[in-house]
Amino acid sequence: MSTVKVASRFNGPPGMGNGGYSAGLLAAHVDARAVSVRLRRPVPLDRDLEVVDGELLDGETVIASAEPATLDLDVPRAPTLEEALKASAQVPWRDRHPFPTCFGCGPDREDGIAALLGPLEGRSEWAGVWRPSDVLPNDGVSVLPEIVWAALDCPSAQPVAPDGGPAFVLGTFVAQVEKPVELGVDHVLLAWELGKEGRKAYSASAIVGPDGVCGRARAVWVSIG
């Protein structure tokens, strides 16, 4: 039997696990290049959760489920670091963030990813710059895969709620890690909206390093506002 524990440090909305980080921990138990994770309930913090046949269980309650997937997603041309920095300087979420203590994108966190993006001039995509530091879980050279999942998660919420609201939570996340994300190296975070339908919003994201795409993802968000 395998278990997963999401420490309180890795929260998303208050009192629950960050969706991308939690999905990345579960995805590690699926033998596939791309993995689809459906988050069915808020992920409890600081509690051992069982992993059985791709399901994350809290007792008999299914918290999330994961399965192999195919991710057919073209990544738009990455902006330069200068363009991405200029975009992120205008980030609307900095002062109107729905979850300011979120590990992935909360502006109040000094030990998180701080994935805050802004709209690119003349383009529909949003962008920012991420230089991972060793405050994040790592193997001495690169951040761990679940951190890459978290860094793909939060950026994709921002284009679908450009003014910080209404608040969305992650429903389904399909991600693929392609290259290590190295510590101390500038990476471009890129995100773009794919559409909306009722309370659901669809978006995509990518992490682009000096040598190309390190990871890409497609997300389904559910409005709770």
Sequence ranges of the domains in the chain: 2-69, 81-223
Read off the pTM.
Answer: 0.94
Place 114 in a pLDDT band, splitting at 50, 70 and 90. confident
**Kind and range of the H or E element at 58?**
strand 55-58
Query: Is the model's pLDDT at 164 over the cut of 70?
Result: no
Compute the average pLDDT of residues 62-73: 97
DSSP 84: H
Q: Would you place residue 109 in the very low, low, confident or very high pLDDT band (cuts 50, 70, 90)?
A: confident
What CA–CA distance (Å, rounded) separates 186 from 208? 9
Integer Rg of the chain from CA = 16
What is the architecture of the domain spanning 2-69?
Roll (3.10)
Task: Give the DSSP H/E element, type plus range, for residue 50.
Answer: strand 49-52
State which CATH number among 3.10.129.10, 3.30.360.10, 3.40.50.300, 3.30.300.30 fits the domain covering 81-223. Answer: 3.10.129.10
Which residues lie closer than 8 Å to 196 by C-beta, 6 or more apart?
Answer: 160, 202
Q: Are 161 and 36 in contact (CB under 8 A)?
A: no
Q: Quick check: do 2-69 and 81-223 share a fold?
A: yes
Q: Which residues pair with 134 in a beta bridge?
A: none
Higher local confidence (pLDDT), 182 or 170: 182
- pLDDT for position 131: 96
Q: How far apart are CA 122 and CA 151, in angstroms?
A: 24
